[in-house]
Structure 1
Amino acid sequence: MTWLTTTGTAGGSFAPTEAADYFFDRLAAMSVGLESGFRRVPTLAARLAIPRVLADGVANWTAEGAEITPTDPNADVVTATPRKLAALTYASNELVSDSNPEAQNVLAENLARAVALKLDKSFYEGTGTAPEIRGLKNQSGIQTVSMGANGAALTTLDPFADALGLLAEADAEGTAIVMHPRNWRAISKIKEATGSNKPVITDGAGSPTEGPRRSIYGVPVWLTSQLAVNETQGSASTANSIYVYQADQVVAVIRKDTTVDVDTSAAFSSDRTAVRVTLRADLVLPNPAAVVRILGVIP
């Protein structure tokens, strides 16, 4: 990973070389997609071809001494083209030149959060129109569960049972569920029976050093506010999508990780330092059937 390039001396104290891994770790921890288990593939190339098997070879019972009928698995490749995600901010030279790690972390955390949030939005909803990457919503071949012609609110866990069932039928396993926080709020209010005050699902308790664990049918749930809540489903215009997938079948191709460039001359007249963050990444699905989109979820 390339950490920083500096012009002047103040930038050197902003982020010492050993902080490089720390910054990317912070970014990754803030990205729901990466935290949910996307397979990360590093590359130094402008494009990366990833092979995928479309259909397995065929096995047949064969008599002793008889010729074995050969079959070839059907395969092709998907090509990842990492594209640039960038952020630019200015910081006062008082902050940048402060050797106190806490002061440096304020800016590092702000930049990591900005990049992570945009990265997540694109992982799930990217259009694929350059320079934006193509997210899960717009990948061809993924499976879907519809909440109905005009959408519907979550009143049972049936859509998740359907999604997990579709994955199993495709020889995939649901390992992650990603939804908007408003969806979890609605699910938390579902009761076991009419008139009951007992919820169907609650946040599970982790160890004393962990926060609450969210899961549905044993599959971890991740929340992100980056999912749009203005999708159209028939007459509904306030719908959103939920994604259920086998995380290691979603490949995040990262080129050169994150680069942070610091320049103390860009805003010389205002005594500020410019800090630029760039990340090159793409998302590909070797097995699109390992992703299910539950669409048309309304409040």
Structure 2
Amino acid sequence: MSRLAELRHEHDQISARTKELLEQYPGNKWGAAQSNEWDSLMSRAGEVHAEITAVQAANEQAGRDWTNEAGGTVKVLRNAADFRAHYANKPGTAGRGEQIQISDFLRGVAGMKTSAGVSAALSVGTDSSGGFAVPSLVMPQILEALVPASSLLSAGAGIVPLTEGAKQYTTAAVDNIPTAAWRLESGNLAESAPTFRAVVAAPKSLAFYFKASRELLADAANMDAALNVAIAQAFAKELDRAGLRGTGTNPEPRGILNTAGIKAVSNGVNGAALAGYGNFFTGAQELLAANAPMPTAAIMSPRSLVKLGGLTDTTGQPLRRPEMLSGMTMLSTSAVPNNLTVGTSTDCSEIYIGDFTKLAFMMREQVSIQVAKEAFATTGEIGFVCHVRADVVLTHPACFAVVTGVRA
């Protein structure tokens, strides 16, 4: 039994004993022995509670944020409601009574006039990278803009917000579904292949910079929307590329394509033109045969998505999507290239098919923003460097298939 489990068990025993005393002696009409026991229980309860808090904090530092000691699952954020609920009660929300926008925060970072709430947030100081952590009141705005800009998040992938402290985090991934077998009375159990493996992920740094004139930052009425879109799209494109095609070689995360256990579907030795939905059926068959759920989405290059939408039948009518694939969301991203080499063809692309809820971006709680005043001082502009730390985790690789050799 783990130390945390022992402490929780002791806490339950203390609670049960105090309840017994209260039931046996209504109105606290007990003698000296019961009074001493009560005082002792209350003292120990405080010590146990403090130790439970300390052990939980130590577990976070050790990187066990993904699951609790009781086996509970980690919270994965997928939509606007999740983002708002998660950050609603986070520290660093000074100025909660006012509506802080990303432009307010950037003006404060740049030393320009801003609101009292932003000033309070900035007074906390710089983070470990030398930048200012985006306040919890602003983070949901950025994440909400990130979802529609990312094909993976739109397909169902989630964001796992991680607390500061640990450099590595461990979660369990499903490699194989165990095989059950009937047995005779007193008969031996059938052996089954190992089904789980540990996936160690370490958030890696992703950054970009942009610049804006002082006048635009101070006066533009729609600056908040523009900033949210710009920041979200910059991060989204690279998160998509890394999540789909990342090599896993530092400093790049490992994406679906290079993860062991995914299903590979070849579209021919030299590739072949996308002529219908055959690739999608083949991918779905591979996944279902591996006991994975029916794929919920497919991600491809814009060229492939437009080609698919423009296909016609023998009468010249738009090709109707087969009923079996009607529930599959079709998405595109420029992160999937069209110039891959397959055999003698150099114009090939890929299609990613699967249940994308089995993919998550492990992301530090806050985006960090640094100001670069001097670099653009002569033009009256201010530069902002945005950092986020994230990694990619597939909790069930067999839920994904990659079709290669998709030509125009």
TM-score by length of 1: 0.83
Change (3 A) 1:269 1:11: farther
Shift of 1:101: 4.7
Match of residue 256, structure 1, among 365, 381, 384: 365
Distance 1:123 1:56, change over 3 A: closer
Q: Report the counterpart of residue 21 of structure 1 in structure 2.
A: 140
1:81 to 198, 202, 206: 202
TM-aligned CA distance change 1:128 to 1:184, over 3 Å: same
Correspondence for 1:278: 387
Distance of 1:275 and 1:266 partners within structure 2:
10
Aligned equivalent of 2:15 = none
Q: Matches of 2:309 and 2:223 in 1, distance apart?
A: 38
| 1:35 corresponds to | 154
Residue 96 of structure 2: aligned partner: none
Separation in 2, partners of 1:28, 1:227 = 18
Aligned equivalents of 1:255, 1:178: Cα separation in 2: 26
Q: Is the 1:11–1:262 contact (alpha carbons within 8 Å) kept by the matching residues of 2?
A: no
Equivalent of 1:178, from 285, 296, 299? 299
User: What is the match of residue 253 of structure 2?
Assistant: 133
CA distance in structure 1 between the aligned counterparts of 2:238 and 2:371, rounded to whole angstroms:
21
Q: Which structure is richer in relative contact order (CA contacts within 8 A, separation 6 or more)?
A: 1
Distance 1:189 1:53, change over 3 A: closer
Name which of structure 1's ranges 234-243 and 179-188 shifts more when overlaid on structure 2. 179-188
Percent identical across equivalent pairs? 27
Determine the C-alpha separation between the residues in 2 that align with 1:201 and 1:262. Answer: 52
CA contact (8 A) 1:91 1:273 kept: yes
Task: Say whether residues 1:162 and 2:264 are aligned partners.
Answer: no
TM-score (norm 2): 0.62
Amino acid at match of 2:290: A
* Unmatched tracts of structure 2, length 5 or more: 1-86, 93-101, 119-134
Deviation per CA, 1:219-246, whole angstroms, max 9, x where unpaired?
A: 1111112211111110000100000011
Q: Report which of the two has the higher share of helix.
A: 2
Q: 1:158 to 1:57 in 2, by over 3 A?
A: closer
Q: Distance in 1 between matches of 2:190 and 2:238?
A: 48
- Whether the 8 Å CA contact 2:174–2:397 is kept in 1: the answer is no
Retained in 1: the 8 A contact 2:151–2:333?
A: yes
Q: Measured at CA, do residues 198 and 226 of structure 1 come closer, stay the same or move farther in structure 2, by a change above 3 Å?
A: same
Over residues 62-109 of structure 1, what are the superposed CA-to-partner deviations in whole Å (9 max), with x where a residue is unaligned?
Answer: 556x477486872220111111110111111112223x5512332332
Counterpart amino acid of residue 327 in structure 2: G
Deviation sequence 1:143-167 (CA, Å, 0-9, x none): 1111101110011211111111111
**Residue in 2 aligned with 1:46?**
167
Counterpart in the other structure of 1:189? 310
* Cα distance, 1:20 vs structure 2: 2.8
Whether the aligned pair in 2 keeps the contact of 1:8 and 1:265 (CA below 8 Å) is no
- 1:116 counterpart residue number: 236
Alignment partners' CA distance in 2, 1:131 and 1:181: 27
Q: RMSD of the TM alignment (CA)?
A: 2.8
Contact persistence 2:272–2:407 (CA under 8 A): yes
Q: Secondary structure at the match of 2:316?
A: coil
Q: How many Å separate the matches in 1 of 2:241 and 2:354?
A: 16
Contact 1:11 1:264 in 2 (8 A): no
